[in-house]
Structure 1
Amino acid sequence: MFNLGILISGRGTNLENIFNFTKKFPTKIKISSVISNNPNALGIEIAKQNSLPLEVINHRKFIDRESFEREIDLIFKEKKVDLICNAGFMRILTSWFVNRWFNKQINIHPSLLPSYTGLDTHQRAINDGVKFTGCTVHYVRSELDSGPIINQAVVPISPNDTEKTLSERVLKAEHIIYPQAINLIVDKKLEVIDNNIIYKEHFLPKTILINPIENN
């Protein structure tokens, strides 16, 4: 059994999406631990409703980042986590934790990395007048929103888009590509060599990149 550890801070939509994905493969993959650093995160209720193992670890109660991360590390080790999935986790992790889980932690970011790292990605893309944005699943590295890219989805920006309408469409794309990325890792269909992703089989482009132009 492949064990997932999920880190959340907010609504938990990607947590719920990942859980629904794991239910399709009950003998292959499961969520063995969910940790929220935010005691008010809506995702906590999602974890409870689905009877997922849950810990709320308020980062504000620790003297520094590493002390907080050591608590997370301890729980994930006890739960025999094979892969950490950041699902709306709004904390920058220290090099200690990143190196501890090197190539065993992934994140989903609401832009086509390396463009628009950090926050407010949708509004920044609209303000810059770009025609496409999207989302990216990547391995976690110490530098913010960096690391080898596993897969991406392209989302067009319409002239009438607001931050809200664009974020809703990007979120739908996130819910497609995050399970795909997890599945590639679980099935050992990729590996990281010299900070690059090497796919062990030939994949159709739609497996790695969801492009709306090809779907029209």
Structure 2
Amino acid sequence: MDIVVLISGRGSNLEAIAQAYSTGKIKGEIKLVISNRKEARGLKTAEKFRIKGEFVDPSIFENREEYDRFLVDRIKKEKPDLVVLAGYMRILSDNFIKTFEGKLINIHPSLTPAFKGLKAQKQAIEYGAKFSGCTVHFVTRDLDAGPVIVQAVVPITLDDTEESLTEKILEYEHRVYPQAIKWISENRVKINGRKVIVEGARYGTLPVNPALEDF
């Protein structure tokens, strides 16, 4: 499973994915990491794992569509099996999504369809939710609303802040994202409408997050 990863920030999910590749848990290669921010720490992570990293400056393009067309052409040169969004903070154009439809995944720090968009952890706390978590999903034109591959559940305590909940959720993000990529690489993931079936996955009930097999 050869992938291209898009980032905007610190790249902690990128690091978890890169570690899974480097230890052989996922077979294949991270062909390229692209950032829309020059200062993104994730570019240093790419360098650490000897992955090709590139900053593509949005300011030199006329609009989002032109920027995304450039990205599409650049990504296609790597011939990836999958395009992975790992903290990529730009809304994708319809053309980008259509080009990689079914081969484009994202992770969101809530149990979608709850708390879409920015600051999902803060939204969950302010709403008074008792549980939150993270969701790996296929990307569609609807923001944070694509078919769900895997979710991990995280309890929200009375003393949680946006920062503490973010850190608790991140621990699971770093497990479920590599897990989802591994499943896809093994050709175990099938989409039936909105339902995603993972052949042989161990699903079950709380309190354990039973879908996690290898991470």
Q: Same fold (TM over 0.5)?
A: yes
Paired-residue identity, % = 41
Query: Which runs of no fewer than 5 residues in structure 1 stay unpaired?
Result: none
Aligned twin of 1:102: 101
Report the secondary structure of 2:157's partner residue: coil
Rounded to whole Å, the distance in 2 between the matches of 1:25 and 1:157 is: 34
Report the secondary structure of 1:153's partner residue: strand
CA deviations 1:47-85 (Å, max 9, x no partner) are 122211111101122101121111211121111111011
Aligned twin of 1:113: 112
Q: Does 1:169 align with 2:168?
A: yes
Pairwise CA RMSD of aligned residues? Answer: 1.6
Aligned twin of 1:13: 12
Which range moves more in the overlay, 10-19 or 43-52?
A: 43-52
Query: Which runs of no fewer than 5 residues in structure 2 stay unpaired?
Result: 210-215
Deviation at 1:186, TM superposition (A): 0.5
Aligned twin of 1:78: 77
Aligned twin of 2:212: none
* Distance change (3 Å), C-alpha of 1:71 and 1:26: farther
- Tell me which amino acid in the other structure corresponds to 1:214: V
Aligned twin of 1:55: 54
Aligned twin of 1:203: 201
- Tell me which amino acid in the other structure corresponds to 2:38: P
Aligned twin of 2:157: 158
Report the secondary structure of 2:164's partner residue: helix
* Distance change (3 Å), C-alpha of 1:52 and 1:214: closer
Aligned twin of 2:213: none
Between the two proteins, the alignment pairs up a number of residues equal to 209
Deviation at 1:142, TM superposition (A): 0.8
Report the secondary structure of 2:72's partner residue: helix
Rounded to whole Å, the distance in 1 between the matches of 2:124 and 2:25 is: 39
* Distance change (3 Å), C-alpha of 1:79 and 1:114: same
Report the secondary structure of 2:29's partner residue: strand
CA deviations 1:157-185 (Å, max 9, x no partner) are 01111111110000001011001100110
Rounded to whole Å, the distance in 2 between the matches of 1:17 and 1:120 is: 22
Q: Does 1:43 align with 2:37?
A: no
Deviation at 1:26, TM superposition (A): 7.8
Rounded to whole Å, the distance in 1 between the matches of 2:97 and 2:151 is: 22
